[in-house]
Structure 1
Amino acid sequence: MTRVRQSEPLGGKRHGVARALSKLGVCSRSQAEAAVRAGRVGVDGRPVHDPEHPVDAARQKISLDGVTVVATQRVYLALNKPRGIVVSAADERGRDTVYDLLRDAGLPWCGPVGRLDRASEGLLLLSNDSVWAAGITEPSTHLDKTYHVQVVGRPDADALAAMLAGVRDGADLLKARRVALLRAGEKNAWLEVLLDEGRNRHIRRLLAALGFEVLRLVRVAIGPLQLGELAKGQWRHLSAAEVAALRTR
C-alpha cells in the first residue's frame, strides 16, 4: 500500500490501538475494535485484546492478521446514493448497500461521512480520512447540508415560517436554517431546505409534524460541494480543491 502524509500526524502521540487503526485508514473504529477483541491485532509482535491499548503508530509496529499495517492512500469520494440503498457495510436483511456500488472499484476501505436513510437519495461522501470526516459531521464543526424535498400539498408562508421557528417532536426541537419554495403544482410542491444540524430523519419528522408527507428527499449539497450532474448510483473522486474546501479541522 502507498504511504501518504496523515491528515493528523500520529507520530509522538499515543492513541488506543483501535483508534490508531482507524486513523491509518485501514478500517472503521468499530471494525478495529472488533478485530482487537477477536485477537487479530498485534503491537510489536505481541497480541493485544484491549481496543484502548495505547500505541504510537509512528514508532511501534501494528499488525492485523499477521500483516504489518501501513498508512493507506487517502480516499475522498462523492456518491449519488439512489433511493432504496442502505448506508451500511452490511445489512442484516440482505438489502443492497452503498458498498455494492463500489464493488470491484479497487478502492481501499472507506466509510460513509454522515448518513442518508434508505428512502433518501443524493450526495453522500465516503472517506478513510477519519479526521476530515469528523470535521464534516461533528456538531461543533460540521458543514451545512442542502436538500430538495417533494411534499404532498402546497406549504404556505405560515408553514415555511414554522419550519424556521422549529417544532417539537418528543425531546427534539426540529427546525431548518433556511427554507424556500422551489415550485408548486396542484397536488405537491418542491422545497429547498438547508440544515445546520442533522438529527435522525430530521426533515421527515419536521414536515410530518406540520402535516406534510415527504415523497422524495434529495441531498444536493454538503457545504460548498454540489451534487451536480453525477448520475444516480455513480461515484467520483473529489479533487484536492474540493477536499480542502470541505476541511474544517
Structure 2
Amino acid sequence: MVRELKTPRSGRSRSLTSKEALPAVAVGGPRHGLARTLSKLGLCSRTEAVRWIAAGRVAVDGRIVTDPEFPILRGRHRLALDGAPLSASERLYLMLNKPRGLVTTAQDERGRETVYRCFDGAGLPWLAPVGRLDKASEGLLLFTNDPQWAARVTDPGTGPDKTYHVQVDVLPDAALLQRMRAGVMADGEALCAKQVRLLRQGERHAWLEIVLDEGRNRQIRRLLAAFGVDVVRLVRVAIGTLVLGELGKGAWRTLSAAEVSALAVATDVSAQAAR
C-alpha cells in the first residue's frame, strides 16, 4: 500500500498502486522490494525494515509506503525515514570472539542472551552476523552491514574454509580419524570434513583440528556423533586466512581493509577452482 504525504497545498492524499507510484523508467526494470532494499543498504535487518515500513516511517519519492514488497529501482528512487533522506550506510566489518552460552541472533524469542550483548554501549550501527555459531560453540564470528560481502563469505560452494579446534571425549586412533575424513551418511545427508587431524590428547580427552569447506547446521557435532564421539568444546579459530589469534573472550575488533579483501578474494579463488 502507498499513500501520498500530506502537503499544505493539497491537505489530503490518495492511495496509489505500486505501478502508479513507480516512475515510468523503472517499470519492468531490475528492482527489489523496499524492505530488501533497505537491508541491502546496510541500514537495518529486513525484519526491522518491515517494521519501519508497516509503521509508516518510510517514504519513497515523497510518498509514504506501507508495502514491504513495493518495487524499488536503486539509484532512481529517493528514500526517507521519518522525513530524513536515506543513503547507504558506511560499511563496517568486525570479528568477535563469541563466548559459549550466547545465541547468534539479534532477538531471541525465548529470552536467551544473544551475541549482541558483547556490543553493549559501543554505539555501533546495525550489523548482521556472517554465518552462525550455535549456543554451545565459541570463537570467531564475523559481523557486517554489507550483505553482498556477507553472501560471498558464507556461500556454501565458494566461501573460504573454516577451521575449528574441537575437544572430544575419546582418544581417537588413526583408523577413527580416517573414518571421520571419509565422512558418513546421517539422516540421509552426507557429512564429511575437508581435513581432520589430531592436535593433542590427554588421559581422557583429545583436541582435533577440523576444517570445513561448506557450512551445514551443526555439521561437526553431527559428524562426530555418527561415530559415537561427543563434543566437549568447539571453537572456531579461523575463517580463510583470518585467525582468531589472541582476541579475548567476548572481545571484538574491526577488520582491516586487507583482511576484508582477503576473505573476498578467497571466495573468488574457490569459485574459479570449482569451474
Q: CA deviation at 1:56?
A: 2.4
Superposition RMSD in Å: 1.6
Q: CA deviation at 1:50?
A: 3.1
TM-score (norm: length of structure 1) = 0.90
Moved more, 166-175 or 124-133: 166-175
Residue aligning to 2:259 = 242
Q: CA deviation at 1:128?
A: 0.1
Q: CA deviation at 1:13?
A: 5.5
- 5+ residue gaps, structure 1, are 1-11
RCO higher in 1 or 2 (8 Å CA, sep ≥ 6)?
1
Identity %: 62
| Distance (whole Å) between structure 2 residues aligned to residue 186 and residue 154 of structure 1 | 8
Q: CA deviation at 1:58?
A: 2.1
Deviations 1:14-40 (A, max 9, x none): 322122111211012333234334443
- Match for residue 100 of structure 1 among 105, 114, 117: 117
Q: Is the 8 A contact 1:73 1:108 kept in 2?
A: no
Q: Is the 8 A contact 2:43 2:145 kept in 1?
A: yes
- Match for residue 83 of structure 1 among 96, 100, 111: 100
Q: CA deviation at 1:66?
A: 3.7
| Distance (whole Å) between structure 2 residues aligned to residue 136 and residue 30 of structure 1 | 22
Q: Does 1:50 align with 2:70?
A: no
Runs of 4+ aligned residues of structure 1 deviating over 4 Å after TM superposition are none
Instruction: Give the greater-gyration-radius structure (CA).
Output: 2
- 5+ residue gaps, structure 2, are 1-28, 269-275
| Distance (whole Å) between structure 1 residues aligned to residue 151 and residue 82 of structure 2 | 27
Give the residue type in structure 2 aligned to 1:102: F
Give the residue type in structure 1 aligned to 2:202: G
| Distance (whole Å) between structure 2 residues aligned to residue 166 and residue 82 of structure 1 | 29
Deviations 1:176-233 (A, max 9, x none): 0001000111111000000011111110011011011100000000011000010000
Moved more, 12-21 or 69-78: 12-21
Give the residue type in structure 1 aligned to 2:79: I
2:233 alignment partner, SS class: strand
| Distance (whole Å) between structure 1 residues aligned to residue 175 and residue 201 of structure 2 | 16
Residue aligning to 1:112 = 129
1:160 alignment partner, SS class: helix
